[in-house]
Amino acid sequence: MSDSGDEIPSPNTSLSHKLTSKTELLNLKLYVVIAILLAGVLAVSLLVFLCVRAHRVSRRRKSRIRVKHSSGSIPLVSKEIAEIKEPRPDPSPSPPPAAAAAAEGKIGNQKLKEARPTEPTVDVENGKRRSGESDVFGWGRWYSLRELETATRGFSPENVIGEGGYGVVYRGSLQDGSVVAVKNLLNNKGQAQTEFKVEVEAIGKVKHKNLVGLIGYCAEGAQRMLVYEYIDNGNLEQWLHGDVGPVSPLTWDIRMKIAIGTAKGLAYLHEGLEPKVVHRDIKSSNILLDRKWNPRVSDFGLAKLLGPESSYVTTRVMGTFGYVSPEYASTGMLNEGSDVYSFGVLLMEIITGRSPIDYSRPAGEMNLVDWFKGMISSRRGEEILDPLIEVQPPPRSLKRALLVCLRCIDLDVHKRPKMGQIVHMLEAEDFPFRSETRSAR
């Protein structure tokens, strides 16, 4: 107590007075403002924590589906290329199976060459097994949904080895110990049944060393699944565009091996079968690789059958942006020349290591075909080689591959070579450079 009789305020009283005093912020008291700030900081911290945790979980899930290779893990693809898909199913009434087959260029009663003679014992149209029949028949083995659930451990995310616009592919281990790839088709507006029917009819009995074999299927209720050979070294897109380090394991010789093998598989589809099969979705992610870098063409969900009396079939434009031929994109008229164009783009991708469409590049380099043509016309062919290739190819071999690319992407579909001719061009040591150069120009 002072001489004047005034009471000296204690520190606690002063602090309490300050906390209860009003501030300029909406006339709120100081302790209310402090509480709001603390709540905001806590909310931001919690949000950051959840984001970091979600990112780590996502990375752990991706790491689980990597397949080991002698040179390291298969690289995850860093870019996606959009698929061109029909916006909705055809509203017109479905024709009878025979009429639909004729309309799509399918010859229902003709046998595929080099196929086993046994007739199917599965109703492909309705996805049902005929009563009293065996589980094993001409077009593969019938698997129950329970068998495939057991093989994939209940379709566990840890067994996912690929995802696409039409389904998810799982690694599965059957009771006999064999490893398979199970493609679970997404039943989006009937798309699962459509792709199921197409793949079974197109390649159900086809066997070729450069085509992925279809060994069985499952159709229960709305579920449609296809069981394939398991190819354990990823796909070409992962090895071309994934993180492989400063030097790609895909040497020039390996790349040409992949290109030639792919061409042989397509040549068999176009020229070794009756009716011929037009794949319609040739791209790097559909080229699977084994441990010896042998390619296997996969995913026949968009395939069309073309009979001998038809030079083309008119259909909806579907495929992957950057690979679709110009005439097919503009008219919907499809034949094997469309696959040849797509193969030409794929070969460019193999040579350059560039994606068909890459918006991260400068304006003049976004479209691979346009950039490639410009580099060749400027006589800068040696500069387009993938910088991750450590050992340069022989000039003659590089020139041969570049000329094949130009022939495949000719705007006149009638001037494009057949796939059998492309195999010969890529393998031949006496490639006629002069005449081919004139033709390309």
If 0-12 CB within 10 Å is exposed, 13-18 middle and 19+ buried, where does residue 249 land? middle
What pLDDT is recorded for position 355? 96
Beta strands 128-129; 167-173: pairing state: unpaired
The pLDDT profile of the chain, 441 residues, written as one tens digit per residue, is 445 455 555 555 666 666 666 666 666 777 777 888 888 888 888 888 777 776 665 555 544 444 444 445 677 654 444 445 444 344 344 443 333 333 333 333 333 333 333 334 445 455 555 444 444 444 578 899 999 999 999 999 999 988 876 789 999 999 999 999 999 988 765 667 777 777 777 777 788 999 998 888 898 888 889 999 999 899 999 999 999 999 999 999 999 999 999 999 999 999 998 889 999 999 999 999 999 999 999 988 788 888 777 777 888 888 888 999 999 999 999 999 999 999 999 999 999 999 999 999 999 999 999 999 999 999 999 899 999 999 999 999 999 999 999 999 999 999 999 999 999 999 987 555 544 444 444
pTM over 0.85? The answer is no
What pLDDT is recorded for position 428? 83
Closest C-alpha among 206, 194, 216 to residue 277: 206
Whether 290 is catalytic is no
304 and 311 Cβ atoms separated by less than 8 Å: no
Tokens of 28: 């709120």
Tokens of 322: 């950057």
What pLDDT is recorded for position 141? 84
What pLDDT is recorded for position 56? 64
Residue 275: asked if its preceding bond is cis (omega within 30°), the reply is: yes
Domains of the chain: 110-229 (3.30.200.20), 233-440 (1.10.510.10)
3-state secondary structure the chain: CCCCCCCCCCHHHHHHHHHHCECCCCCCEHHHHHHHHHHHHHHHHHHHHHHHHHHHHHHHHHHHCCCEECCEECCCCCCCCCEECCCCCCCCCCCCHHHHHHHCCCCCCCCCCCCCCCCCCEECCCCEECCCCCCEECCEEECCHHHHHHHCCCCCHHHEEEEECCEEEEEEECCCCCEEEEEEECCCCCHHHHHHHHHHHHHCCCCCCCECCEEEEEEECCEEEEEEECCCCCEHHHHHHCCCCCCCCCCHHHHHHHHHHHHHHHHHHHHCCCCEEECCCCCHHHEEECCCCCEEECCCCCCEEECCCCCCEECCCCEECCCCCHHHHHHCEECHHHHHHHHHHHHHHHHHCCCCECCCCCHHHCEHHHHHHHHHHCCCHHHHCCCCCCCCCCHHHHHHHHHHHHHHCCCCHHHCCCHHHHHHHHHCCCCCHHHHHHHHC
Report percent pLDDT > 70 for the chain: 70
CA distance 185 to 195: 8
What pLDDT is recorded for position 72? 52
Out of 6, 232, 253, 281, pick the active-site residue.
Answer: 281
Residue 5 has, within 13 A of its CA and on its CB side, a CA count of: 0
Closest C-alpha among 111, 115, 163, 170 to residue 140: 115
| pLDDT tens string 78-135 | 444 444 544 434 434 444 333 333 333 333 333 333 333 333 444 545 555 544 444 4
